[in-house]
Each structure stands twice: as structure tokens, then as C-alpha cells.
Amino acid sequence: MQQGPQNGSTEIGRLRPFLANLASHVHLGEADLRGIAQLVTECRKVPQRTELVQGKQQSGEVQVILSGFACRIKTLHDRRQITSYLIPGDICDHRYLADRAPDQSVCAISAVEVAHIPVEALTDLCERQPRIMRALLRVSAIDSAIAAEWMVNLGLRTAQQRVAQLFCELYARLRVVQLAGSQAFDLPLTQAELGEALGLSTVHVNRTLQDLRRREVLTFRSGRAILHDRQKLAEIAAFDSHYLGLSDPTPNEAA
């Protein structure tokens, strides 16, 4: 299950979502991609419900989701708040940038493949390739922007709107890594897990989903989401994708 560094191209294959994510913000050349791929020291599969990162525990490695879904979690008493969903291509914890221990734990929702990259090696690479540093900073900035949007969700939106906005967001993010079709995508979450992210009880998530289904806007069933009417969904959510920074990457600089 553990594997040493491979020849670049194999790793590039596995890392595709991550590289796509980075490249969607800053144009990266073949050399950059290979450079990143070569830093991967380990690639492991973890079963669902496993803790990938323990809060308050520094590790010297960055973990990147290659496949499957995970989430960041904060716990209060015995209740959990999901502070973000991690999809393929996402970095588990951005605090490595500041050389700090994570303040949240990360938990696999489905079975997940993660790549490990030593922080030090990554930092070195960044020094040599500022483009890569920029890409990492942008990814991190977007992470913050998503957090802000989630605060709006929790603070201002109704249950309907929260669900709608979350599905809009996930659709947009999954498209970047080619994991969403034109109107559907896989999303291996339970309604309980949706509730933990949206600040709603499971029961209420259920009722809200039923309603959206009845209105033929969104169907979410057995791990698959179908957006029957994206227009309408975005309207309900008052969704403005701007915060996801999905505009075109800064113009090409080199190949």
C-alpha cells in the first residue's frame, strides 16, 4: 500500500486532480507538474470514516486527496461541525504553509486515496518555482473564501437556500476536477453529514431535500446528485460562483 517515488508520469496520472486544481489557478508547465509529482513519497488508500489528519498534531507532510471525499471537522461537546468538504485535488490542511499544526481534523467520508508530500520538499520547490507557490497560495485563498461563504450560509440562509448553495458549490468545484457531468455528480454523503455541514438536523435536511425533489430542482439519492434545474437551484441559493475564483487562470507564461 505504501509506495516510494515512482517515475514521474505514473505519479502525474494519480495526481491529476490535484494538478488540475492548481493549474486552474496558475498556469503550470509540464516541468512544474513533474516537479510536484516527484515529491510524493507515499500514496495510500484509507477506508471511509477514517481520520486522515488529527487536529493539533503536526506531521511535516501535506496530504492531498486523490480520490474520494473527505471533510474537515471541528467538535463541540459531542457534536460535529463540518467546516469544509474536501474533494479530489484538495489539500487536507493549509496550515502547512505557516508551519503550524492543523487546528481541525480531517476525516474520510468515502474510501479515499491520499498522497503525502513532505512539507520541506514542497517549500524548496516553491522557492525554485514561484509559480507553484502562487498556485498554492491561491488554492488556500479560495479555501478561505469558501469558508466565508459557508458563514453566510449558516448565518443568513434558510435551510432551502443552504442546501441549494451547497450543491451549487460542489457542482462547480467538481467540474474543475472533471468529476461532475453536465447535470449530475456522485456525492457519497449521508443526509446526516449534509446536516453537519449545513447546521441543520438530519430530519430537516431530509425534509428539505424532499421538497427540492418534489419541485424538480434537485434530486439527491443514494450518493448521487442530479441537478434538474441548475438555473432554479442557483436562484434559490442566490449563488454567485465568483468566490470560487474559477475564472480562467492567469495567462500562460511557459510550457
Partner DNA sequence: CGTTGTTTTGAGATGAGTCAAGAACTGTGG
Partner DNA sequence: CCACAGTTCTTGACTCATCTCAAAACAACG
Give the residues lining the site for DNA (CB under 7 A): 158-160, 190-192, 199-204, 206-207, 209-210, 221-222
Say if CB 62 and CB 85 are below 8 A apart. Answer: no
Does residue number 1 form part of the binding site for its own copies (CB under 8 A)?
no
3-class SS shares of the chain: helix, strand, coil, % to 5: 45, 20, 30
Work out how close the CB of 217 gets to DNA at its nearest, in angstroms, rounded to a whole number. 15
Q: How far is the CB of 206 from DNA (least distance, A)?
A: 4
Length in residues, the chain: 255
Nearest to 125 by CA among 65, 40, 67, 44: 40
User: Which of its own copies, DNA, none does residue 242 bind to, with CB < 5 to 8 Å depending on kind?
Assistant: its own copies
Tell me the number of residues near its own copies by CB under 8 A. Answer: 41
- Give me the amino acid identity at 215: R
Site for its own copies (CB under 8 A): which residue of 2, 4, 98, 252? 98
DSSP state of 95: G
Q: Are 126 and 133 in contact (CB under 8 A)?
A: yes
150 binds its own copies (CB under 8 A): yes
For its own copies, which residue of 38, 54, 81, 206 counts as binding (CB under 8 A)?
Answer: 81
Contact 233, 184 (CB under 8 A): no
Contact 223, 189 (CB under 8 A): yes
From DNA, its own copies, none, which one binds at residue 33 (CB under 5 to 8 Å depending on kind)?
none
Q: Which of 20, 111, 119, 137 binds its own copies (CB under 8 A)?
A: 137
Residue 231 interacts with which of its own copies, DNA, none, CB < 5 to 8 Å by class: none
Q: Which residue has the cell 508530500?
A: 117
- What does R_g of the chain's alpha carbons equal in angstroms? 18
Chain residues that interact with its own copies, rule: CB under 8 A: 56, 72, 74, 76-77, 79, 81, 83, 94-95, 97-100, 103-104, 134, 137-138, 140-141, 143-145, 147-152, 154-157, 196, 198-199, 238, 242-243, 245
